[in-house]
Amino acid sequence: MRTLAERLPLVARVAPLAVLLVGSAAVVVGERSPTHLAPELSWAPPSTPWPLGCGEAGVDLLALVAHATQRGVVMAAAVSLVGFAVGCPFGAFAGLARGRVERAASRACDLVQAFPSFLLALVVLSAVARPTRTHLAAVFLLTAWAPFARLSLAQTRVLRDAAFVEAVRALGGGRARIVARHLLPNLLGVVAVQLGSTAAAIVVSEAALAFVGFGTRDGVSLGAVMDQGVSSMLRAPHVLFVGAASVAAASFSLMTAGRAFDPSFARQRLRH
């Protein structure tokens, strides 16, 4: 039987995400609205009816943070999974092809990751009259695939000369068969570690875009909370604290959840 110390790593990885999602869902299914305004409660401090206080025009910060976190996490998870599904096979095929194809894929990853994704998002969203989360997701997808492709390419370089790959070639297996049935299952564990980091980066980027005025027009964003907090640092410092803490909690939760895909963590659990 495992001791508490042995179980602690699993708790530390799962608890933040579970608390975050359960807390968000509890508020979302309730009667609190993230867009309901009560001017008489503008910048009200935390109290029993308003656990996190109120922001500009009396908006309920608990409802705003809960809805914004839930939408941001869902979008980040979806974009990360699509980037994973695109980048992983791309890197595997390029690594197996070798030669010019491999070099071209590597240069493509270099180009995408070298260009500031935040600047790219600003350029693209500036041409959109009313940005939505669909626009944000599309912008993030332009660069989200590259880290997965790079990791997949690097891992394929290690596996492509393995004995089991040579055996499939000797039996007449094509490139698609080798990638789909032999390479991908062996590199998914390594590449999947990137899921948490990518999702966390998307949450932070979405908040940053909303903070500088390029977020969704409904104003339901963690960046909008931070924007309110900066404009009211002296009279209502709790707003900025709530916004910053919410971004940190969402990012930390996704990062720790992503570590569950770490093969070394899985081996540690098996040993115990």
What pLDDT is recorded for position 264?
57
Query: Could you tell me if residue 104 is inside a domain?
Result: yes
Query: Could you tell me if residue 139 is inside a domain?
Result: yes
Give buried/exposed letters for 216-230 (b at 16+ CB in 10 A, else e): beebbbbbbbbbbbe
Other Cβ atoms closer than 10 A to 166: 11
pLDDT tens digits for 70-88?
889 999 999 999 999 999 9
Phi-psi region of 206 (alpha: psi -120 to 50; beta: other; left: phi over 0): alpha
Given a cut of 90, is residue 107 above it in pLDDT? yes
Rounded Cα–Cα distance for residues 175 and 183 (Å): 10
Task: Please answer whether residues 206 and 136 qualify as being in contact, where contact means their C-beta atoms are separated by less than 8 angstroms.
Answer: yes
Given a cut of 70, is residue 270 above it in pLDDT? no
Rounded Cα–Cα distance for residues 253 and 194 (Å): 14
Domain with 211, as residue range(s), is: 11-25+53-271
Query: Could you tell me if residue 100 is inside a domain?
Result: yes
What pLDDT is recorded for position 4?
40
Query: Could you tell me if residue 48 is inside a domain?
Result: no
Average pLDDT for 97-122: 89
Structure tokens at 230: 């900066």
- Percent of the chain at pLDDT exceeding 90: 39
Given a cut of 90, is residue 122 above it in pLDDT? no
Angle at the Cα of 223 from the Cα atoms of 18 and 243, rounded to 5 degrees = 60
Task: Please answer whether residues 228 and 60 qualify as being in contact, where contact means their C-beta atoms are separated by less than 8 angstroms.
Answer: no
Residue of 80, 105, 104, 81 whose CA lies nearest to 92: 105
Query: Could you tell me if residue 244 is inside a domain?
Result: yes
Given a cut of 70, is residue 203 above it in pLDDT? yes
Which CATH number goes with the domain that contains 96? 1.10.3720.10
Name 216's Cβ contacts closer than 8 Å, sequence gap at least 6.
131, 132, 133, 136, 210
What's the maximum distance between 2 C-alpha atoms anywhere in the chain?
A: 77
Query: Could you tell me if residue 41 is inside a domain?
Result: no
Query: Could you tell me if residue 31 is inside a domain?
Result: no
Rounded Cα–Cα distance for residues 155 and 263 (Å): 14
Query: Could you tell me if residue 161 is inside a domain?
Result: yes
User: Based on the structure, what is the number of domains in the chain?
Assistant: 1
Rounded Cα–Cα distance for residues 17 and 14 (Å): 6
HSE, side-chain direction, 13 A CA sphere, residue 244 = 8
What pLDDT is recorded for position 93?
92
What pLDDT is recorded for position 28?
63
Rounded Cα–Cα distance for residues 240 and 226 (Å): 5
**9 CA to centre of own chain:** 21
* pLDDT averaged over every residue in the chain: 83
DSSP 221: S
What pLDDT is recorded for position 92?
93
Identify the band that residue 8 occupies on the pLDDT scale cut at 50, 70 and 90.
very low
Structure tokens at 45: 């401090």
Average pLDDT for 212-236: 89
- Percent of the chain at pLDDT exceeding 70: 84
pLDDT: which is higher, 168 or 39:
39
Which range among 19-28, 180-189, 226-235 has the greatest average pLDDT? 226-235
